[in-house]
Amino acid sequence: MNSLRLAGAGLGFRRELIAALKIQVPAAIDFFELAPENWIDLGGAHGRDLRCFTERYPFVCHGLSLSLGGPTPLDELLLHKTRQFMDTHGIQLYTEHLSYCSDDGHLYDLLPIPFTEEAVKYVAARIRRAQDILERRIAIENASFYVAAPIADMDEADFIRAVLLEADCDLHLDVNNVYVNSVNHRYDPVEFIRTLPTGRIVYMHMAGHYREADDLLIDTHGAAVIDPVWALLDETYRIHGVAPTLLERDFNIPPLAELTREVERIARIQAAHQAHERAVRAS
């Protein structure tokens, strides 16, 4: 297992970008992220390409289909295959959405878990089992949602904190998802982020979204990051400090050079906060 350290600014590792990345990986890109479901059983040229990059760069596994809040049994076969994949490629961090995406079959969407004490215990038990199989702590991602579950004992931030405590896992903070939910459900995104536990935040996402209406944003990962989300990232670093942060782009993927400009912007914001922290410590 390699010992590449996860830090800095990253980009999703997509097959559409491999040709350009093989020519040159831009200096701003410190690490990559992939969905293990899309790579576990992949061999041939794509498998060799992946190995070439995992030997040189840190990677994160960001799961898409574990369905932590779902009613069906946890997919332990997928977890065992994911652990083997992570061991093979020296990947330390696995993250998944705090949501569910399956019932009798996959629903092809991320749906909200009811914010209840019962759900906290149910999801936390599944997270603990996932950690046992993966032999790693995992990080759960705050998910975007459009219709709240009809039953709730607590608000979204309370639910996230309760799951983190009950499961003893880490937080993957998606800054764009906070912004999207703050518009759709009418809350202050900065206050939401301020309530999250700093010590649990190990990883962050930035992404673009689609404005359906003034009071409805759709989390598409198919557009450039907008200025209010950049401002929210800046404030998040001010509150919690800098964490490895990835630019997500899953649709309408532009050329690598265009994506790199957004990764560079993440890196500049990180550098400014790190410089400030050094100055404070020196004084």
Task: Place 99 in a pLDDT band, splitting at 50, 70 and 90.
Answer: confident
Decide which of 211 and 52 is more confident: 52
Contacts of 134 (CB under 8 A, 6+ apart): 79, 82, 83, 86, 94
Beta strand pairing status for 201-206 and 9-12?
unpaired
pLDDT in tens, 234-267: 999 999 999 999 999 998 999 999 999 999 999 9
pLDDT at res. 38: 93
pLDDT confidence tier of residue 152, bands split at 50, 70 and 90: confident
pLDDT number for residue 105: 42
Amino acid 200 reads: R
pLDDT in tens, 11-20: 999 999 999 9
CB 123 within 8 A of CB 113: yes
What secondary structure letter does DSSP report for 114? P
Residue 181's SS3 state is helix
In the structure encoding, which two tokens stand for residue 62, read together? 């960001």
Q: Which among 90, 75, 105 has a CA at the least distance from the CA of 31? A: 90
Give the DSSP letter of residue 29. Answer: -
With cut-offs at 50, 70 and 90, classify the pLDDT of residue 270: very high
In angstroms, the CA 77 to CA 55 distance is: 26
Mean pLDDT of 111-138: 94
| Per-residue pLDDT band at 122 (split at 50, 70, 90) | very high
Q: Is the pLDDT of residue 113 over 70?
A: yes
Q: Where are the domains of the chain?
A: 9-282
d(CA 74, CA 61): 18
Pairing verdict, β 100-102 and 106-111: antiparallel
Q: Is the model's pLDDT at 216 over the cut of 90?
A: no
Which tokens is 225 given?
Answer: 């990051």
Q: What phi and psi, each to the nearest 5 degrees, are found at residue 217?
A: -110, 140
- C-alpha span between 24 and 51 (Å, rounded): 16
pLDDT confidence band for 110 (50 / 70 / 90): low
- Domain spanning 9-282 has what CATH number? 3.20.20.150
**For residue 102, what pLDDT is reported?**
39
**Dihedrals phi, psi of 267, to nearest 5 degrees:** -60, -40
Residue 239 burial by Cβ neighbours in a 10 Å radius (0-12, 13-18, 19+):
middle
The predicted pLDDT at position 69 comes to 86
Express as a percent the part of the chain with pLDDT over 90: 78
| pLDDT over 90 at 53, yes or no | yes
Q: Tell me the mean pLDDT in the region 26-35.
A: 98
Torsion sign, CA atoms 25, 6, 11, 63:
positive
For residue 100, the model assigns a pLDDT of 64
What the block records as the tokens of 105 is 């079959």
Q: Is 96 exposed, middle or buried (0-12, 13-18, 19+ CB in 10 A)?
A: buried
Cβ–Cβ contacts within 10 Å for residue 10, how many? Answer: 28
Mean pLDDT, residues 141-164 taken together: 89
Higher pLDDT, 218 or 202: 202
What is the reported pLDDT for 203?
98
